[in-house]
Amino acid sequence: MLFGTELGDVYRAILPNGQLEADEYERIENGVELYDEADNLLAFVPYANLEAFLTEHAYADEGPGVM
Segment 22-54, tens digit of pLDDT: 999 999 999 999 999 999 999 999 999 999 888
For residue 57, report the phi and psi dihedrals to the nearest 5 degrees: -65, -25
Q: Are the C-beta atoms of residues 16 and 49 closer than 8 Å to each other?
A: yes
- Tell whether 5 is covered by a domain: no
- Tell whether 61 is covered by a domain: no
Q: What is the DSSP letter of 49?
A: G
Q: Residue 14 above 60 pLDDT?
A: yes
Residues 6+ apart with CB under 8 A from 49: 15, 16, 31
- Tell whether 50 is covered by a domain: yes
* Count of structural domains, the chain: 1
Which domain covers residue 45, as residue numbers?
A: 11-55
- Tell whether 22 is covered by a domain: yes
Predicted model pTM: 0.74
- Tell whether 48 is covered by a domain: yes
Q: Residue 17 above 70 pLDDT?
A: yes
